[in-house]
Chains A and B, each alone.
Chain A
Amino acid sequence: DTAVSQTPKYLVTQMGNDKSIKCEQNLGHDTMYWYKQDSKKFLKIMFSYNNKELIINETVPNRFSPKSPDKAHLNLHINSLELGDSAVYFCASSPSGTSGDNEQFFGPGTRLTVL
């Protein structure tokens, strides 16, 4: 019974295409996140939603747009894909966005390769 799931696991696409990555959590958490992990394993937060409201929006190109249809889902849509978007994207969730000691639970990741 997967806690945080992402689809697809692998995504290979051409430059200029638009693609989406989906994330779902069944933990009943209020807060969800998107992280990008580059080829050097560096992990950086992109977005965070708390109860469907955007609370973190890092310096990310406008081509990236998160959407949270409900508390259990946070999808990431990417327009006009570029080579530099190739990375592993992780979704995560935590019980609340109002306490800094909450554990974040991570999904298995989506490896995006832009050709």
Chain B
Amino acid sequence: AQSVTQLGSHVSVSEGALVLLRCNYSSSVPPYLFWYVQYPNQGLQLLLKYTSAATLVKGINGFEAEFKKSETSFHLTKPSAHMSDAAEYFCAVSKMDSSYKLIFGSGTRLLVRP
């Protein structure tokens, strides 16, 4: 069965610092993996997705994630945090059956300090 685990319910960084949000997955088959962002009082927006084309995936707003099969990880990074990056971030895996439903992690709240 597919699942994702996000380590750290809250991550706090200074503006301009590196952002690292962790996601580990569990899947018996090559997974499809996603990162979504939720700004306050809004719906979720796709940041990037991994579909086996390339292990380093670039997304919107300067974010990228690297798929590491040996570590079963798909961590999200951004070289320099901006105040506008403060939001909730969700890692998700697509269930590889006929439903292809998304299974979300518990989310990580990113706080950016001035």
Interface residues of A (CB under 8 A from B): 4, 33, 40-45, 48, 55-56, 90, 92, 97-109
Contacts and interface: CB of A to CB of B under 8 A. Distances in A.
A100 B98 contact: no
Contacts, number: 60
Given A42-B107, A100-B95, A101-B32, A4 B43 contact: yes
Interface residues of B, number: 26
Contacts of B51: 101
Given A101-B94, A103-B49, A108-B43, 16 more contacts: A4-B43, A33-B101, A41-B107, A42-B106, A90-B43, A90-B44, A92-B43, A100-B94, A100-B95, A100-B100, A102-B100, A103-B34, A104-B44, A104-B102, A106-B44, A109-B42
Interface string B91-114: 000111011111010110100000
